Amino acid sequence: MSKYWLRVLAIALPLVYPASYLAAEDGSARGLVKAKSRAVLASEIGAVVNKTPFRSGDNFTKGDTLIGFDCRLLKSQKDKVAAQTEASRAQLANARDLEKMRSIGALDVTLAKADYAKTRAELEIARLNVERCTVKAPFDGSVVQLLVNEYESVDLRRSLIEIVSSSALEVEVIAPADWLRKVSSGQTARMDIDELGISSEVSILAVGGAVDPVSQTVLIRAGFTSLPENILPGMSGMVRP
C-alpha cells in the first residue's frame, strides 16, 4: 500500500468508524492482515490460452504452472533457429580449418564467428519466448481471481491472473500516537482475529516514522510469531501491545 493511500486510510477511518473501532479503552487498536506479496500477472506473449489449472480460492506452490499457452509456432521457430545455429557452428569450424591451410583469410573467419554469434543470440531469444509459454507461480499462495478463460486469445501485457501469498503475511495497525511510548521493534503483542475467533502473538516489525497530524495515528507493522491456521489476507482484529 502506498504512503498516499495509507494517509487517506488514516484520515478516513476515524470519520467512517467510531473511535472504539480503531482504538479501545484498553489501549488496543485495529489491525488488518495483509499479504506481503500480491500481484496481477500479465502475458509476455500473444497466444491462445490452453491451460488454466487453478481457479479462485485454489492454493498453489512456487513453480506451479498458473497459465499455459498454445506455443506450437514458437517452439517450431525455436527448432528452426537451433538448426541454423548448428549450421553456423559447423561453418565456423570449417572456416578455422581452411584458415590453418591458408585457403581463406582472417576476414572470412571473422564473418563466420559473427554469423555464429548472431544465430546463438537468436536461439536465446527463441528459447526465452518458449519459456513465456507458461506463467509460473513466483511464490506459494492462492488465486484471488482468474482473469482469462481457456481457449481465449490474449495479447501482449493482458492481465491473466491475480494471486496473493498465503504464507508471507503481516499485520498493519493504525494505532493512536501514544503507542510510540509503548511499542518498539522486536516487542511482542497479541491480536484477536475476529474471523477465526482466536488470539495470536505478533512481533512488532517497524514503527511508523511520522505521526499523521490530522488523525493523530501512526502506522505499525507486525508479523505473526507463528502463522495461525486458516489465516487469510483481509482478516482483522484488535491488537494489544
The CATH code of the domain that includes 192 is 2.40.30.170
CATH number of the domain encompassing residue 60? 2.40.50.100
175 and 90 in one domain?
A: no
Q: Are residues 51 and 145 part of one domain? A: yes
Full residue range of the structural domain in which residue 157 is found: 39-71+133-165
Q: Are residues 205 and 100 in the same domain?
A: no
The tally of domains found in the chain comes to: 3
Q: How many CB atoms lie within 10 A of CB 141?
A: 25
Q: What does the pLDDT read at residue 2?
A: 52
Q: Are residues 149 and 109 in the same domain?
A: no
Look at residues 23, 1, 32, 36 and name the one whose alpha carbon lies nearest to residue 182.
23
Same domain, 144 and 236: no
Whether 21 shows a pLDDT value over 50: the answer reads no
pLDDT digits (tens, 9 = 90+) for 143-197: 999 999 999 999 999 999 999 987 788 999 999 988 888 888 899 999 999 999 9
Dist CA 57 CA 145 (whole Å): 8
Band of pLDDT at residue 6, cut at 50, 70 and 90: very low
Q: How far apart are CA 142 and CA 5, in angstroms?
A: 25
Average pLDDT score over residue span 60-84: 95
**CATH number, position 95:** 1.10.287
d(CA 49, CA 68): 6
Record the pTM: 0.70
**pLDDT the model gives residue 18:** 43
Q: Does 232 lie in the same domain as 174?
A: yes
Same domain, 57 and 172: no
**236 lies in the same domain as 139:** no
Please tell me the least confidently modeled range out of 24-28, 111-115, 152-156.
24-28
Mean pLDDT computed over 62-88: 95
- From CA 65, how far away is CA 4, in angstroms rounded? 35
Written in H, E and C, the secondary structure of 53-113 is: CCCCCCEECCCCEEEEEECHHHHHHHHHHHHHHHHHHHHHHHHHHHHHCCCCCHHHHHHHH
Which of 77-86, 174-183, 222-231 ranks highest by mean pLDDT?
Answer: 77-86
| Mean pLDDT, the chain, integer | 87
Q: Examine the domain organization and report whether 94 and 78 are in the same domain.
A: yes
